[in-house]
Chain A
Amino acid sequence: MILEFFGDLATPIMRGILLGGLYTIIAMGLSLVFGVMKLVNLAHGDLVVLGSYLAFAAMTMLGMDPILSLVMGVPFLFVIGFLLQKYIMSRAFKISMEAPLILAFGVSLILQNTFQILWTPLSRGLTTAYALKSFSVGVLQVPLVYLLDFIGGLAVMLFLSEFLKRTYMGKAITASSQDRRAAQLMGINTERTYEFTFGIAMAFAAIAGVLLGLTFPFTPVSGGPFLIIAMGCVILGGLGSILGTFVGGMAFGLAQTVGGYFFGVAAQMLVAYIMVFVVLAVRPQGIFGR
Chain B
Amino acid sequence: MKFNVSQLKGKLAPLVGVAIVLAVLPVIGAPRTWILYLFVFFIYLIMSTMFNLLAGYSGLLSLCQPAFIGLAGYTLVIFTWSGLPFYLGIIAGGIVSALFALLISIPVFRMGGIYFAVGTLVVPEALKVVFLLWRPVGGELHGGGAGYMVKGVSGITTADTYMMALFVALASVLVLHYILNSKFGLGLSAIRDNANTAASSGINVFQLKLLSFVIAAFITGLAGGIFYVYQGYIEPTSAFNISWTMAILLATAIGGMGIEEGPIAGTVIYVMLHFMLAKYAGISLLIQGVILVIIMLTVPEGIMGFVRRKRIYSSIFQLITGRR
Contacts and interface: CB of A to CB of B under 8 A. Distances in A.
A92 B129 contact: no
B293 A280 contact: no
Chain B at the A interface: SS class: helix
Contacts of A98: 55, 61, 257
A101 B114 contact: yes
Given A103-B296, A109-B242, A109-B289, 20 more contacts: A92-B296, A92-B297, A98-B257, A101-B61, A102-B61, A102-B253, A105-B245, A105-B292, A107-B289, A108-B289, A109-B288, A113-B286, A114-B286, A227-B121, A228-B118, A231-B118, A269-B125, A280-B115, A280-B118, A281-B106
A117 interface: yes
A88 B297 contact: yes
A42 B293 CA distance: 13
B129 A277 contact: no
A129 interface: no
Contacts of A266: 129, 132-133
A151 B193 CA distance: 47
Contacts of A103: 292-293, 296-297
Interface of A: 34, 38-40, 42, 88, 91-92, 95-99, 101-103, 105-110, 112-114, 116-117, 224-225, 227-228, 231, 235, 266-267, 269-270, 273-274, 276-278, 280-282, 284
B115 A224 contact: no
Interface of B: 55, 61, 63, 106-108, 110-115, 117-119, 121-123, 125-126, 129-130, 132-133, 242, 245-246, 249, 253, 257, 282-286, 288-290, 292-293, 296-297, 300
B110 A284 contact: yes
A116 B300 contact: no
Given A40-B117, A113-B285, A281 B300 contact: no
Contacts of B118: 40, 228, 231, 280
Contacts of B284: 113
Contacts of B117: 40, 42, 101
B290 A110 contact: yes
Contact of A109 (B107, B123, B133, B286): B286
Nearest to B118: A231
Contact of B293 (A110, A114, A116, A235): A110
12 contacts: A38-B114, A40-B114, A40-B117, A92-B296, A95-B300, A105-B63, A110-B285, A113-B286, A117-B283, A227-B121, A228-B118, A284-B111
A267 B133 contact: yes
Given A266-B129, A281-B107, A99 B286 contact: no
